[in-house]
Chain A
Amino acid sequence: MSPHPNKDIEIERATAGCGVSRRRAHAAVLGFYLAAALFNGEALLREAHLLRYGPLRDSAIAAARPLAAAARMTRLGRLRAWAERRSPAH
């Protein structure tokens, strides 16, 4: 039971200055959220409709509706539909 050689990968990489600037990282994270919302807008609306009746469901539907409309308009929602058609689990 000796110490693991790969244990401190992150410390070594941080010391070596790996990665991107903080500003670029923030832009990537926020861009990711925006793109993910567009790719999955229709699925989000579908799942919001499955929630139990109540204020949470109403606000989820209200929030997902414009995303679903944007996903349809930009046709980005097709990626999710394509993946679902090919899923071995469905």
Chain B
Amino acid sequence: MLFPTVAFAIFFLLAYVGRWALARRPLPLKLFLLAASYVFYGWWDWRFLGLIAGSSAVNHLLALAMARHAHGRPIGRLLGLGTVVLTLPPLTAQALIRAGAGARLAAGVGLGPEIGANTLWCAAGALAFVLAGRVASLFGAGLYDAPPARVRTGMARALGGGAVIVNLGFLGFFKYYGFFVQNAYALCGRLGLSCPLPLLDIVLPVGISFFTFQALSYVLDVHRGEIAPAPSLLDFAIYLAFFPQLVAGPIVRARVFLPQLIRLPVPDRLDVGRAAVLIFGGLFKKVVVANFLAQSIVDPVFGHPAIYGAWDTLFAVYAYAVQIYCDFSAYSDIAIGTALLLGFHFPINFDAPYFSASVQAFWRRWHISLSSWLRDYLYIPLGGSRCSPRRTYLNLFLTFLLGGLWHGAGWTFIAWGALHGFYLCVERLLRGGRPPPPSSFGRRLAGQLVTFHLVCLSWFFFRAESFEDAWTLLGNFGQWARPECLNLPVLAMAVLGFASQGLDGRRVERWWDAFGRWPTWAQALAAAAALTVILGLGPRGVAPFIYFQF
């Protein structure tokens, strides 16, 4: 379900009414929020509901085991029972599917429609989820109210390591298996060997990178003793699947969202002004700016790089820089705005990134939830900057290399991450570990220009279909022919998209408050008129958000 569609509009109205109708009944409200989130996710492909439900059950049981171990309680029965309830229903479903398929083949009627197997798998997933919830409630009593504790024993490390392996295993299989096998085949082919790995056609579940990182942050925070495990599987399942940010972020930490879910406060006031500016600003950025730039210049030039010259290539990469900002920040803004209308607060994810005067500042303002995740769960555990200078550079480079790989299973994404890692290492080297000096307007402007162009250079690799395409695009700078794709609407839209960074952070706080003071009828009418103009100005059809593929 995409945000700017009629289906989502109807869905959100139902979710909004349900949320506030059940506001004072916590259990029905939580069940409703989980059901709504699963409907939202299942809209793409309901078969992946088993994946997200399974991920919730496994991570919650592991977090409980860690917390029980930290408080000196036995965990053997929890792990044993947990393993049984998580594996028995799926194994039974698999056996039934095989038996059914065997019987149908024996009767000579073929394997029949997929629906039978899918239904069985889904039922098995639901049963495993419910049983895991029961096991969790048996073994989790009192753990949420107890102060979080950390114990450094072999078992604690094994549980933490197990949680990381399970989550990265999910992600690795669905997202990177194909990439790994393709490269293994290519390598074996060069060496004259045969590759024993099977080629599987795996569909990438939408949003898997986002909810896996949320799950990882939860289990690692419980492992470190920074938070207590969620009081019930239901709370954790909502945290993992909450529909506004499920598919493309922001990556919300458990320590931010779980307390809100557990208390479920009924706020007296709703920040309608801020929510409206976020939602309609986001819709404008996505529907009008990002979609138009994609259709008019970015897709043609990046799709056929060999037939364009330097001007078209230059403006296509500028347009792509604006497009990806407008596309991705739009999703985050709409997610934050819709969550706000439902009474939940999420941290911001973008803060005018292209106004940054250094690459380091850029990463403090671009996809903040990912960069802070990488800092807390990768860069600092690797040693961060508290080790030798050489090791610090290596940590920085590795963090961004893996950040690039997180974006997509492809060498171009790895190159993009490596380029950013390289930029940050060079910046650190030039600064010599000192804080940046106070800069004049001219110096800051120069820094912004250089940073923007360095980021644009990296976007060539991020957007190009292959390395060949990226090199062709860079090679176009040798031919300064007359531009073909550049025209006034493209230029105006790119400038408008760039200027839309002014909506980030607190820059338009006055607008939020001013809109909040309008009469109710004027708010409704203005919002509806804004939506109508946005939908009218945008191209026909709805393009998916770029970050859905990650």
Chain A interface (Cβ < 8 Å from any Cβ of B): 1-4, 6-11, 13-14, 17-22, 24-36, 38-40, 43-44, 47, 79-84, 86-90
Contact = CB atoms under 8 A, between A and B. Distances in A.
B272 interface: yes
Interface string B325-367: 0000000000010001100011110010000000010011100
Interface of B: 6, 9, 13, 16, 20, 266-274, 291-292, 295-296, 336, 340-341, 345-348, 351, 360, 363-365, 368, 371-372, 375, 379, 489, 492-493, 505-506, 512-513, 516, 520-521, 523-525, 527-529, 531-540
Given A1-B364, A1-B379, A47-B6, A83 B535 contact: yes
Contacts of A20: 269-270, 272-273, 516, 520
Given A6-B351, A25-B270, A35-B528, A14 B345 contact: yes
Q: For A28, A79, A81, A89, which residue has the most chain B Cβ atoms within 10 angstroms?
A: A28
A35 to B, nearest CB: 3
Contact of A89 (B351, B529, B538): B538
Contacts of B529: 35, 39, 79
A46 B368 CA distance: 40
A43 B363 CA distance: 41
A85 B268 CA distance: 42
Given A31-B520, A36-B531, A83-B532, A18 B525 contact: no
A73 to B, nearest CB: 17
6 contacts: A13-B271, A22-B267, A22-B269, A28-B524, A31-B521, A35-B529
A90 B540 CA distance: 8
A1 B375 contact: yes
Contact of B532 (A18, A25, A80): A80
A86 B533 CA distance: 10
B348 A9 contact: yes
Contacts of B379: 1
B86 to A, nearest CB: 36
Nearest to B340: A10
A46 B512 CA distance: 34
Nearest to A13: B271
A4 to B, nearest CB: 6
B268 A36 contact: no
A10 B292 contact: no
B147 to A, nearest CB: 23
Contacts of B534: 83
Contacts of A39: 528-529, 531-532
Nearest to B365: A4
B520 A4 contact: no
A90 to B, nearest CB: 7
B129 to A, nearest CB: 29
B15 to A, nearest CB: 11
A87 B506 CA distance: 30
A7 B524 contact: no
Given A14-B267, A22-B268, A83-B532, 8 more contacts: A7-B368, A19-B270, A19-B274, A20-B269, A20-B273, A40-B535, A87-B538, A88-B493
A81 B270 CA distance: 33
B73 to A, nearest CB: 34
B359 to A, nearest CB: 12
Contacts of B532: 36, 39-40, 79-80, 83
A49 B525 CA distance: 27
Contacts of A25: 269-270, 272, 341
A84 B291 CA distance: 15
Contact of A18 (B20, B512, B520, B535): B512
B533 A10 contact: no
A89 B539 contact: yes
A86 B534 CA distance: 11
B271 A18 contact: yes
A26 B536 CA distance: 26
Contacts of B13: 29, 33
A38 B363 CA distance: 43
Contacts of B368: 4, 7
Contacts of B372: 1, 3-4
A19 to B, nearest CB: 4
A83 B271 contact: no
B536 A83 contact: yes
A22 B537 contact: no
A61 B317 CA distance: 42
Nearest to A47: B6
B267 A34 contact: no
A62 to B, nearest CB: 14
A20 B268 CA distance: 8
Contacts of A29: 13, 16, 272, 341, 524
Contacts of A27: 520, 524
Contact of A11 (B345, B492, B536): B345
Contacts of B9: 33, 36
Contacts of B292: 88-89
A79 B526 CA distance: 12
Nearest to B424: A1
Nearest to A27: B520
Contacts of B341: 25, 29
Contact of B505 (A9, A26, A90): A9
B508 to A, nearest CB: 11
Q: For A8, A31, A89, which residue has the most chain B Cβ atoms within 10 angstroms?
A: A89
A8 B270 contact: no
Nearest to B493: A88
A21 B371 contact: no
B421 to A, nearest CB: 13
A29 B13 CA distance: 9
